[in-house]
């Protein structure tokens, strides 16, 4: 029998890449749950559907719902007999979380609990994946890469709300025996990303000869750094995790339930080197200035870093180097410039 997958936030940036991967590589049916706010854009799904046959397009359904409200019987019936839940919907704007913290508690904690409560009603649930963030670990000192079960140190309401959602997932696994998995990833980029984000913003400003502010330390001598990962690699990693026998991995975590996996980009790079990589791909000079975001904007950390060693030991890592992914995205974006318009 064909599996049915629920993807929350299905019109979002990362989720639409995952849906494309599912349609291309499986026979599963996909139902997208989205409230279509600032981050949701059905044109993403319309774009990827152009590459699918009519039969494949018919495998995608869209249901409108805001997870701050419980999933009532009508919504549950519309979703159908779901086998896999991929929970990507979230409030994720750090600045907004600092100004409106309760909004993020509602979206990322209450919304997650409402979805978990719905998942408890599913008779054929095989897996529930909660998509979390590297930011739950907080800033990483030089030389430190956080592993899956290191301590959390949220530095803004967004990361705290994602950590809260994680803990509710752990509780529902332990209390109700839901088959839950948690993933952490960081700084995802790719085609059809909102133009306010760093990489598409850099592409646009390099193209137009504009100045780029580089997130740096207080002395403005050291650029912030991240492990960047393409959304297609995130989708690939999630599919790899769905294929694992996670019950056999409990020994890796001292018998703890609710396995956690870091999906990490192929290399760490600082923001200035990344901007230069983008400028090289565009073929124009880089105009930049170092900006002390770290001190001036509370909740923004200079360096995040996670270890991808555990998932690599299990058999997965990104297929392409960061420079190759950047070149792919720059070429695609310049050929599809409407996605640079706000």
176 is catalytic: no
**118, 158, 288, 304: which one is catalytic?**
158
173 is catalytic: no
DSSP state of 109: I
Q: What is the pairing mode between strands 268-270 and 225-227?
A: antiparallel
Distance, CA of 170 to CA of 148 (rounded, Å) = 13
Contact 262, 310 (CB under 8 A): yes
34, 123, 256, 315 from 84: Cα distances, Å: 16, 11, 22, 22
**29, 34, 107, 134: which one is catalytic?**
134
Residues 6 or more apart whose CB falls under 8 angstroms from that of 208 comprise: none
Helices (H), 141-209: 157-176, 198-208
Residue 77 half-sphere exposure toward CB, CA atoms < 13 A? 3
DSSP lists the bridge partners of residue 306 as 146
Instruction: State both tokens at 120.
Output: 């408890």
Distance, CA of 237 to CA of 186 (rounded, Å) = 13
C-alpha angle 140/145/148, rounded to 5°? 110
Contact 113, 107 (CB under 8 A): no
**135, 173, 191, 268: which one is catalytic?**
135
Distance, CA of 11 to CA of 164 (rounded, Å) = 24
158 is catalytic: yes
Catalytic residues: 134-135, 158
């Amino acid at each position: 029998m064909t599996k049915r997958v629920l993807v929350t936030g299905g019109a979002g940036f990362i989720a639409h890449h995952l849906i494309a991967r599912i349609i291309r590589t499986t026979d599963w049916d996909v139902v997208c749950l989205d409230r279509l706010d600032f981050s949701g854009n059905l044109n993403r799904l319309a774009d990827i559907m152009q590459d699918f046959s009519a039969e494949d397009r018919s495998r995608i359904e869209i249901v409108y719902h805001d997870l701050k409200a419980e999933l009532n019987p009508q919504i549950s019936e519309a979703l159908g007999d779901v086998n896999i839940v991929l929970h990507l919907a979230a409030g994720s704007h750090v600045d907004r979380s600092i100004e409106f913290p309760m909004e993020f508690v509602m979206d990322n904690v209450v919304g997650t609990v409402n979805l978990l409560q719905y998942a408890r009603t599913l008779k054929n649930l095989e897996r529930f994946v909660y998509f979390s963030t590297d930011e739950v670990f907080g800033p990483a000192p030089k030389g430190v890469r956080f592993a899956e079960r290191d301590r959390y140190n949220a530095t803004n309401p967004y990361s705290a709300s994602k950590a809260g959602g994680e803990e509710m997932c752990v509780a529902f696994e332990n209390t109700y025996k839901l088959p839950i998995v948690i993933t952490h990833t960081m700084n995802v980029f790719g085609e059809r990303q909102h133009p306010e984000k760093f990489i598409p913003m850099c592409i646009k400003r390099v193209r137009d000869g504009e100045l780029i502010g580089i997130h740096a330390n207080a002395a403005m001598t050291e650029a912030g750094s991240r492990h960047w990962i393409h959304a297609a690699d995130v989708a690939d990693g999630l599919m790899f995790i769905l294929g694992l026998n996670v019950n056999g991995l409990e020994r890796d975590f001292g018998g703890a339930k609710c396995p956690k996996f870091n999906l990490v980009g192929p290399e760490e790079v600082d923001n200035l080197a990344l901007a230069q990589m983008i400028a090289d791909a565009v073929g124009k000079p880089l105009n930049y200035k170092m900006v002390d975001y770290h001190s001036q904007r509370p909740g923004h950390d200079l360096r995040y870093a996670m270890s991808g060693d555990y998932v690599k030991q299990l058999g997965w890592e990104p297929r392409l180097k960061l420079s190759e992914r950047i070149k792919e995205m720059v070429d695609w974006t310049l050929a599809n410039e409407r996605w640079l318009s706000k």
